[in-house]
Structure 1
Amino acid sequence: MRAAEIRTPGRPPVVAVRAEPAPGPGEVAVRVTAAPITPLDLLCASGTSYFGVPATPYVPGVQGVGEVAGRPVWFATAAGMRPGDGSMAEYAVAASGDVVDLPDGADQALVAALGLSAVAAWRCQTRTGGLAAGETVLVLGAGGVVGQSAVQLARVAGAGRVVACARSDAALERARGLGADATVRLEDGEDTEALAQRLGAAAGPVDLVLDPLCGLPAAAALHTLRPGGRLVNLGSAAGEVCPVPSALLRSRSLRIHGYTNNELTPGERREALLTVVAQAMAGALTAGYERVPLRDAARAWSSPGRVVLVP
């Protein structure tokens, strides 16, 4: 079979021919039909994640969509986080508990593109963030799949107002098309106070901030929160550190939460994934992505936007 291999951390994969993997006890073989390249894959393959330097060579891909005995499934792997191979191949193996049967008729490439990114967007708002009907949600980083999903799923969860932030006009236009009531462009070189003023003018008092960025945008977003407001962080695309003024935090009784999909039980992940798939099949959830043949995995490795590798 063909597979993408990470041979050197920090370098793009090499597409090679290797033997088909054989499932062990408690595992199933999957014929892969769609494998997304996600930020987590890039982070793990860089050798700089908190999971450590991965053992090489290995096949990346922490999730994918495929078929088991002719039925469509989504599956997860620990590729790059623990020894073992992932989804970016023609065939993969996965633990039985990490395989979720998909409804017939689900768009397999779209499910792969959404996957755990949409799961995070859903759980961050409905569980960790405790979104209540009618509340205002501010989505930082709305250009990525997490942000795109968050804009749409906030509506599904009953948000009264959704404001999206991104760095490009194209991303902001897409966010408006996905249902954002207002948008704010993130500008290079802007200070926290100036961005906080623009966010406040667009969003008004905010109940929940969904933050895949950290850094200055998160610091500015904290100033928009009403008393008792919440910020949920699930990434650091804009920086590893966010300054949090003690007086602001205490005077408004603000709550800051961290989120990772890795803490979900298989049952929680299955429930959230099937919710995401149902919304996609109902036309309430989509994402921008590019289909790329597996043979071109190296070229697509650092492409902007979500790439889904297909046979």
Structure 2
Amino acid sequence: MRAAVLHTHGQPPSHADHPDPVSSDGYSVVRVTAAPVVPLDLLCASGTSYFGQPAVPYVPGVQGVGVVEQSEVVPPGTRVFFATSAGMAAGDGSFAERCAVPDVDLVVLDTPVPDTEVAALGLSGVAAWMALTWRAQFKPGEQVLVLGGGGAVGQVAIGAARLLGADGVVAVCRSDAARDRALAAGADEVVASGPDVDALTARLRDATDGAVDVVIDPVFGLPATAASRVLAPYGRLVNLGGSSGDEAVFSSSVLRSRTASILGYTNNAITPEQRRDALTAVLQHAANGAVAVTHETVSLADIATAWHRQSTGSTDGRLVVTI
């Protein structure tokens, strides 16, 4: 079969022939139709992640959409979303014509949302939904601040907050294009990020009237530091990424005086059932046009270029590989 095969850590995968997956007990074989290129793919392939260095060669791709070809639990022809542990454990991922998937990681799709849009939402949608509803324990009437509002997680978090009854949603973005995506997702106001933490804090105070109940943070670093300063009493900051840096600075007096919480989130800590239920909820709203992620499609043959674009931020939304 044709696949994107990684031979060297830190380098893009190449479009090449690769052995077909072999069906085995507890696994289904899926014919892949669409798979997004996400930061986790690049992190795992770099060989520098906390999962350790994956054995090479392997096929990256931690999620995808497709049609079941062989399975003992799902009828062949069933349309599914699936997650993989490619780059985090032994085995190949979704950037291939076929993928062997643990049966527990299949989510049967019953939605009119196209495969490419399902792939664009995917685990980013799951993370945004779960960070807001499960980790932050969001309540209707609260005000939400979304860092990285133009990214995939940010766009879903903005839409979800609106759907769940947020009193207001403010986003932080780095570029005009990201600002446009955040506004299209439903943000009431977008604050420009920047290198001065005090200036960003001041802008956030103005935009949020000085206090915000929930922060959804896929970026960390300086924006998280600024956001922590405007947490309301009992406010919660949920971190689920570090694209702006692996460290942020928090004030003990601010956290203690407001009984505020700094919380971590990862999709790896939820159950397959939670993943299924969260994705199903997101797709229900996507079918109604209430949640979306800006994306573009690229062919499997162009995987190296897509990989480079993702690594340099040269994209206007999520890149989805069609196969």
TM-score in same-fold range (> 0.5): yes
Q: Distance in 2 between matches of 1:292 and 1:85?
A: 20
Q: State yes or no: 1:206 paired with 2:212.
A: yes
RMSD over aligned CA atoms reads 0.9
Give the TM-score taking structure 1 as reference length: 0.97
Q: Distance in 2 between matches of 1:120 and 1:233?
A: 10
Seq. identity, %: 52
Q: State yes or no: 1:235 paired with 2:241.
A: yes
Give the C-alpha shift of residue 115 in structure 1.
Answer: 0.4
Alignment of 1:135-214 (within 5 A): 135-187=142-194, 189-190=195-196, 192-204=197-209, 205-214=211-220
SS at match of 2:216: strand
Q: Distance in 2 between matches of 1:22 and 1:104?
A: 29
- Which residue in the other structure is 1:247 paired with? 253
Q: Distance in 2 between matches of 1:302 and 1:167?
A: 20
Q: Distance in 2 between matches of 1:159 and 1:104?
A: 26
Structure 2 unaligned blocks of 5 or more: 69-75, 310-314
Give the C-alpha shift of residue 249 in structure 1.
Answer: 1.1
- Which residue in the other structure is 1:88 paired with? 95
Q: Is the 8 A contact 1:65 1:72 kept in 2?
A: yes
Give the C-alpha shift of residue 104 in structure 1.
Answer: 4.6
Q: Distance in 2 between matches of 1:172 and 1:153?
A: 17
- Which residue in the other structure is 1:74 paired with? 81
Give the C-alpha shift of residue 302 in structure 1.
Answer: 2.5
Q: Is the 8 A contact 2:5 2:18 kept in 1?
A: no
Deviates more, 1:292-301 or 1:103-112: 103-112
Aligned residues: 309
Q: Distance in 2 between matches of 1:139 and 1:107?
A: 26
Give the C-alpha shift of residue 298 in structure 1.
Answer: 0.7
- Which residue in the other structure is 1:60 paired with? 60
- The aligned amino acid for 1:306 is R
Q: State yes or no: 1:278 paired with 2:290.
A: no
Q: State yes or no: 1:261 paired with 2:267.
A: yes
SS at match of 1:216: helix
Deviates more, 1:128-137 or 1:299-308: 299-308
Q: Distance in 1 between matches of 2:308 and 2:154?
A: 19
Q: State yes or no: 1:308 paired with 2:320.
A: yes
Deviates more, 1:58-67 or 1:222-231: 222-231
Q: State yes or no: 1:16 paired with 2:21.
A: no
- Which residue in the other structure is 1:41 paired with? 41
Structure 1 unaligned blocks of 5 or more: none
Give the C-alpha shift of residue 282 in structure 1.
Answer: 1.5
- The aligned amino acid for 2:249 is P
Give the C-alpha shift of residue 251 in structure 1.
Answer: 1.0
- Which residue in the other structure is 1:110 paired with? 117
Give the TM-score taking structure 2 as reference length: 0.94
Give the C-alpha shift of residue 19 in structure 1.
Answer: 2.4
Which runs of 4 or more aligned residues in structure 1 lie more than 3 Å from their structure 2 counterparts after TM superposition?
A: none
Deviates more, 1:234-243 or 1:103-112: 103-112
